Every structure is written in structure tokens, then in C-alpha cells.
């Protein structure tokens, strides 16, 4: 099933890698460099899934998520966080919100499995 996915990460290599994996699976992919750009894009276009880094300059992933679900609460379970910060994996806020988090580095199979889990909810 084709999905529209927004990738938010300040590292171009990560954005490009995730985009390539998803494009190979037939998904539509847009990319943003930080939370503010991602928030603007999420309000301008309907996405099925949003993949966001947590630690970014300008607006981080947590602030992005808080602002997103205020205006688009239906996206609450459709955000997958990715992080290279091991301490963030167990972040209390993420656990409270029920948000999924995938640790960097991850394999293409890990990414696709996480997206499948999100898809299974809908």
C-alpha cells in the first residue's frame, strides 16, 4: 500500500537514506530539515506517517510533536521518532504519549517493520 510520508531530520544523509528506503517500497516521500519546516509541511499536505528525528536545531522533534497533535490530534499515533541518543529511547514524554521510537543506526527492515506497525493501527 502506497503511503505519503514526511521525513524530518537535520542530517541530509539520514533524510536521503530513509527517503530511498521508502521510495523503493513505492511510498511518496517529502523531506524537511527541522521541526518548523516539517510542521508547515504537515499543515499543507496530508501525510499518512511522519518520521522525525528528536534532536534537531531550531525546533526539535518533541516540540514539533506537541504542536502537531494540538492541531492534528489524529496524527498522534502516526509519528515515528528516530534518534541516535540512547537516552531518548526511554524518554518519559514519548512513553506517556505512546509514541514509537527507533534507535539509530537502524536497518531498512527495522524501519519498514516500524511503519508496518503504525499501518496496522489504521
- Gap between the Cα atoms of 70 and 30, Å rounded: 22
| Intra-chain end-to-end CA distance of the chain, in Å | 12
Tell me, what's the pLDDT at 88?
A: 56
Please report which confidence band the pLDDT of residue 87 belongs to, taking 50, 70 and 90 as the band edges: low
In Å, how far are 9, 27, 29, 65, 80 from 16, measured between CA atoms? Answer: 10, 14, 10, 22, 16
Residue 31, φ and ψ in degrees, nearest 5 = -130, 145
Tell me, what's the pLDDT at 41?
A: 98
Say if residues 87 and 81 touch (Cβ distance below 8 Å).
no
The alpha carbon of 52 is separated from its chain's Cα centroid by a whole number of angstroms, namely 3
- Kindly report the CATH number assigned to the domain that includes residue 33: 3.40.50.2300
Bigger pLDDT: 98 or 19? 19
Please report which confidence band the pLDDT of residue 84 belongs to, taking 50, 70 and 90 as the band edges: confident
Residues spanned by the domain of 33: 4-120
For the cut 60, the answer to whether the pLDDT of residue 89 exceeds it is no
Q: What is the mean pLDDT of the chain?
A: 90
Residue 48, φ and ψ in degrees, nearest 5 = -80, -35
Total number of domains in the chain: 1
Bigger pLDDT: 105 or 93? 105
Tell me, what's the pLDDT at 58?
A: 87
Locate 79 and state its grid cell. 509519528
Amino acid at each position: 500500500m502506497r503511503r505519503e510520508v514526511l521525513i524530518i531530520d537535520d542530517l541530509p544523509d539520514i533524510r536521503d537514506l530513509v527517503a530511498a528506503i521508502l521510495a523503493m517500497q513505492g511510498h511518496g516521500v517529502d523531506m524537511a530539515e527541522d521541526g518548523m519546516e516539517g510542521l508547515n509541511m504537515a499543515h499543507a499536505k496530508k501525510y499518512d506517517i511522519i518520521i522525525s528525528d528528536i534532536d534537531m536545531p531550531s525546533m526539535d522533534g518533541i516540540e514539533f510533536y506537541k504542536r502537531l497533535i494540538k492541531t492534528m490530534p489524529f496524527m498522534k499515533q502516526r509519528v515515528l521518532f528516530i534518534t541516535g541518543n540512547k537516552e531518548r529511547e526511554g524518554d518519559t514524554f514519548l512513553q506517556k504519549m505512546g509514541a514509537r521510537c527507533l534507535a539509530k543506526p537502524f536497518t531498512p527492515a527495522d524501519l519498514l517493520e516500524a511503519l508496518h506497525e503504525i499501518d496496522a493501527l489504521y
